Amino acid sequence: MCDDLDKAANLISKECQHLIYNFKYNMTHYPLFDEAVIKYCSNDITLSHECESFAGVHGSGRLVICLYDHLPNITDPTCRYFINQVQVVAFNDWRLTEYFVEACKPDIGIFECGRLDDDNQAILHEPGAVISCLSQKHNLLAPQCRKEIFRLAEMQSDDYHLDRALYFACRDEREHLCGYVASGNGRVYRCLYEQTSNYMMSPAELKCLQKKYKSLEDQCKQAVRNYTQMTMSDPTLDFLLMKACEPMIQLFCANVEVGNENYLIRCLIKHKNEQQMDFRCKAGIDHHQITSMKDEAFLSQQFRKKCTQEINEHCFGKKTKAGVIQCLADLMLRDVLKKENKITEDCRDELKFELLQRSESIDFDPSLAKACQKDIHRYCGDRTPGNAQILDCLKDNQNKISPSCYAKLRKREKLDVILPENDYSLMSKCATIIQKYCSNEKKQNILSCLRRNINQDAMPTICRRVLYNRLMVLNSDARFNQGLIDSCQRDINKYCQSEIVDNEKDDNESDEDKDDNGDDDKEKNDGKDNNNNNNGDDEVADRGMGGRIIQCLRSKYTDTSITLESQCVSELVDVIQTSKIDIKLDIKLYESCRKLLKSECIGMDQEDCLKLLYQKDKINDDVCKEQVKRIIREGQADIHVDRALAFACQADVLKYCNDIPIGSGKQLQCLLSMGKSVTSQCQNILLKRQELWKSVSKLNGVADLTEQIRKSNNSFYLFSVILLILCVMFMAGCICRPYVRYSRVRKYK
């Protein structure tokens, strides 16, 4: 009856409301109330020394509060039922909890959050208003008051009726959006929050929820935001999460000190993909992570404290946590590329943890999820979020995905290859190899270390697959290989300028947070294809440009008439050697000769097989033939990119040619000049390679000659000389013809 009247508070007079409050106050402080508590809960009171001390203090109301604090430990069903019935009365008004009054009286006065006296009987009794006011200022409260606020919030998280501000703000939405959800255990609160926005729903469901979201009152949305902000500040207030994860906390996080709530949730996140992890706890952790991305207000206190300066200076105005994370990620990437220090080490450490989380699931990257929604459905429909499954699938199909998806995915990939410690897939699937071979390496050098150890027997297949994907990214697009770009910039400008079609800088700050403009913007975009989104960096002018730059540099490297800068040669040799690990890493060669490899090169070294077929003139595909010719010339330009030759002549290079710089075939010419001084093993393979190089130099007709001249850097000069020779011959013919004719006529006469 009392609860029903309380629910109708906005319909009854002020006098009646105050009488309701007086009734509840007198009931909870009446000595017979404590006697009833003792009657139903005597066994459990004796089991708790803390509660037993209040059993003799009648009229304080503290006994029932103590029992509620120990509700999970109450064994008597009758006592548990009684406490649950009483809680609706005892905990929906701050003035009924003695601890709260004592702890928060000064703060209530300082922040003008309400009254503590009952002198004015005309004051309207508004349950929850004071707690709501203090909750919004919880960072400024005295420690003892903050503790009570969090304790009340924990109580309220069990049943949303106890959070009076939330209840009165959202009761209409609760009826028509979550009417089917039973109250208790935080279910109504979770239902209400899930209706605000859900990135993982189908487009139709999302559109429907967006229309409902516009009908939510601002007061309701603000109440949900305030409550969620508190649970993000202290995850132990999330009743469902703590209930589902209590055994897992004991298993994985028992060493986390009480009071370090941020470390507790981080510990759970770190272990959520362990085999022993309970699926209910994992679902709760995922929900916590997804929810945290929806509003900038949900940044953890630890993150906000360490990154305040960076957020205020560079990311001010971002409305979601996801937008703040991407903004800071762009800033960190620019710091690395331009060797700046706009982000402090403390903030960088916090950001790395967030980026590692983001790369674990597409759910935690709403901007990428929205841009790639159709591509996920088309290419990754059989994958589930988590363990980077969908992200790896998108990377495997990056040549097929839409431009808007590719643009966002490309930024994530660049961050992964430049700062591989943020790559969840690589760090988790290669954890054993990293621990064994790369534990002493700097974090940014992990990719290079793994590449050096790629042929280790201990490397798991799943790790090798992920590593191949990252190496393909480096080898197929110069824009991802910052070391190559930095070292070869002059040579690119000099020899490969024609391959550059745009000057895009994807490390520049971009508006990844443009979805923050609210549901109106989302509704306007409903039904539109993501492919038509041409704003900002959502389009990449030319996907193949980076690959063409690498091909151009490799072709100049094989040209003995051109000398690239030494630092560029070192980076380029690194790229070429990487492509020798597996023929699939030489993407142009593999794609051009795939059919031939499947039919002629099964069960043998595929690159050597292609070279042999070329030498025997059995390659009919012109594109494949050109690619094979390229790798032969690369071996001719540098002994180190021909694995068989490098292995056979390793000792001879160290003995005779160690002081000769690599590139332009200089070390090879040094070995050839040694003649029979080199070892027999090296001599034999050199003879075989010379025969192979002669086959590349062969010209089969005028067509080959024309093609070779066309590809030459001096093609204009050569064609000019040929034309000049033809002109001279023509002029000579014109001049000499009359003289020859005159001689014939004279002889005839």
What's the mean pLDDT in 9-33?
A: 62
Q: Name the average pLDDT for the chain.
A: 75
Q: What pLDDT sits at residue 402?
A: 92
Residue 390 clears pLDDT 80, i.e. is over it? yes
Residue 353 clears pLDDT 50, i.e. is over it? yes
> CA-CA distance, 42 to 63, in Å (whole number)?
11
Residue 558 clears pLDDT 60, i.e. is over it? yes
> CA-CA distance, 262 to 265, in Å (whole number)?
5
pLDDT in tens, 141-159: 888 888 777 767 666 555 5
Q: Looking at residue 533, what DSSP letter applies?
A: -
- Best CA proximity match to 433, nearest among 459, 451, 455: 459
The per-residue b/e assignment along 231-255, b for 16 or more CB within 10 angstroms, e otherwise, is: bbbbbbbbbbbbebbeebbeebbee
Between 74 and 359, residue with greater pLDDT: 359
Share of the chain above pLDDT 90, in %: 8
| CA distance to 72, 310, 321, 356, per residue, from 306 (Å) | 36, 9, 15, 18
Q: What pLDDT sits at residue 430?
A: 92
pLDDT in tens, 607-652: 889 988 988 888 888 899 988 888 888 888 777 777 788 888 888 8
For residue 78, what pLDDT band results from cuts at 50, 70 and 90? confident
For residue 529, what pLDDT band results from cuts at 50, 70 and 90? very low
Residue 162 clears pLDDT 50, i.e. is over it? yes
Threshold 0.85, pTM exceeds: no
Q: Return the structure tokens found at 380.
A: 């990754």
pLDDT in tens, 658-674: 888 776 678 888 888 88
pLDDT in tens, 697-737: 655 555 555 655 665 556 666 677 778 888 888 777 777 66
Q: Looking at residue 557, what DSSP letter applies?
A: H
What's the mean pLDDT in 210-231?
A: 58
For residue 748, what pLDDT band results from cuts at 50, 70 and 90? low
> CA-CA distance, 269 to 273, in Å (whole number)?
8
Q: What pLDDT sits at residue 29?
A: 64
Q: Return the structure tokens found at 709.
A: 């001249």
Give SS3 for 701.
Answer: coil
Helix (H) or strand (E) holding 374: helix 373-379
Q: What pLDDT sits at residue 393?
A: 92
Task: Please state the length of the chain.
Answer: 749
Between 664 and 108, residue with greater pLDDT: 108
The separation between CA 410 and the C-alpha centre of its own chain, rounded to angstroms, equals: 11
Q: Return the structure tokens found at 249.
A: 């906390």
Q: What pLDDT sits at residue 520?
A: 42
Q: Under a CB-based contact definition with an 8 Å cutoff, are residues 111 and 137 in contact?
A: yes
Q: What pLDDT sits at residue 485?
A: 84
pLDDT in tens, 243-260: 788 889 888 988 877 656
Q: What pLDDT sits at residue 372?
A: 94
Share of the chain above pLDDT 70, in %: 68
Between 118 and 603, residue with greater pLDDT: 603
For residue 593, what pLDDT band results from cuts at 50, 70 and 90? very high
What's the mean pLDDT in 311-324?
A: 89
Q: Return the structure tokens found at 202.
A: 């189908």
Q: Under a CB-based contact definition with an 8 Å cutoff, are residues 165 and 180 in contact?
A: no
> CA-CA distance, 204 to 573, in Å (whole number)?
52
Residues ≥6 apart with Cβ < 8 Å to 174: 160, 188, 192
For residue 405, what pLDDT band results from cuts at 50, 70 and 90? very high
For residue 375, what pLDDT band results from cuts at 50, 70 and 90? very high
| CA distance to 269, 274, 602, 607, 620, per residue, from 595 (Å) | 45, 42, 11, 14, 12
Q: Return the structure tokens found at 247.
A: 């055994």
Give SS3 for 332.
Answer: helix
Between 459 and 744, residue with greater pLDDT: 459
pLDDT in tens, 260-270: 667 888 899 98
Between 298 and 275, residue with greater pLDDT: 275
Residue 202 clears pLDDT 70, i.e. is over it? no
> CA-CA distance, 703 to 709, in Å (whole number)?
10
Q: What pLDDT sits at residue 164?
A: 52
Q: What pLDDT sits at residue 187?
A: 61
Residues ≥6 apart with Cβ < 8 Å to 296: 318, 319, 320, 321, 323, 324
> CA-CA distance, 642 to 448, in Å (whole number)?
20
> CA-CA distance, 653 to 682, in Å (whole number)?
10
Q: What pLDDT sits at residue 703?
A: 55
